[in-house]
Chain A
Amino acid sequence: MHSAIVAPKGIWWKPAGRQEKLWVTIAFIWCMILFAMMPFWHLRGGQNASGIRSRVDPAAYVARVERFTQEYKVGEENGIPVVAPPPGSEVYLLGRMWSWSPILKLKQGASYTLHLSSADVNHGFHLFPVNVNFQVVPGYDYGLRITPNTAGEFRIICNEFCGIGHHLMTGKVTVE
């Protein structure tokens, strides 16, 4: 036996000891459990970020958000439109330097397809205090089926660095 700075001579491909074999086997089984959990959650779990993914021209996405805002607008807060889309509808949220628009009013227990994209650079969607996070990438539309299971006032925090005003970028969602 020798240390790791000594060059082994002859054939070193030798059977492992009992304890090494035991640990390698246990570690292998644990790795398979770790792997199996992800497909399992796709089948049985309630939180999967697969979504509907497509490319979108940033200008076209901005126009789509504007149409959506016009259609379901119910008010305004801090200069940002408040929108109440019907349950089951497609909801469009826009991240841009440095705001989230529009403000969303959703119904508890109803399902929506929440579309996320950006008009300029990468942003990060963080729903507070639920703590779910998605990357918001310009040129890509990320449509996620969401079902709010808690009522109240929520915040959207940008958690991807997007320039000097990054820390000012908060939005709002209410669930009734």
Chain B
Amino acid sequence: MTARAFDAGSVADARAAIPSPWRRAWTANGPGYMFLLPWFIGFFGLTVGPILISLYLSFTNFDLLTAPQWTGFDNYARMFTADPKFIASMRVTFLFVVFSVPLKLAFALCVALVLNRGMKGLPIYRAVFYLPSLLGASVAIAVLWRRLFAGDGLVNEALAMIGIQGPAWISNPRFSLWTLVILAVWQFGSPMIIFLAGLRQIPQDLYEAADIDGASRWRKFWKITLPLLTPVVFFNAIIQTIEGFKSFTPAFIISGGTGNPINSTLFYTLYLYQEAFGFLRMGYASALAWVLLAIIAAFTAFSFLTSRYWVHYED
């Protein structure tokens, strides 16, 4: 370093000219990391850490009151060979997802297509269809649903008016799951909004070109609309499926926390809750959580891998 007579500028220049690697890294990365600090703490403390710990716990018996005892693969073995409730909850959750997601998306797409014709009152209709998905996840709606579908509830009264004698939906194991599917499908408003936005993005000139070629409505749908919507369909399908697997509140409220009758409403998360907080079998519950994670990961990977065959990205 030279001398006496300096001015701030030249010192700064000098410093900048020969910066130490530390300082350079810090000036470059420092702000980024500082802003990310809350997220880092949360990510490691509330996400990564717990994921690893729950993996460990899944190999133990842990009742919160005493230290975890290592049991190896016992929990997993039990799950797949000696736990009828696990099989039941898997089946129930799969059925729920397999039926509610396509139905939800179908309704969402159909209504979005109709609304996209640019009719008067679009904002009102859109709001009306969207409202249920805002309210749907609440305890209040689940309580209402339980009452609507009871043996003497509104649904059966309505059916009676057209001469059908409805079953006791909620207390009959053959029908109880369908009340939950109907509740899920009722909330199609949120994917509908996304479809509407996706439809709006399709360039108008494609349709005009097709019109010139004399294409029918159906052809235009199949050849233009649907292919260009596939990214949105894909996105919606993944989000709705994952949401379906996480569903808890409606099943809990409608079955009174039991998953009955005969485990027909025993959603996977409800079963996990029962094991963890009802019986304090935290080790087993952790194993259940990991199986769920594996399934969702497999599903997501599968979806992404096969998406190239049917999803058209406009690049």
Asked if A and B bind, the verdict is no
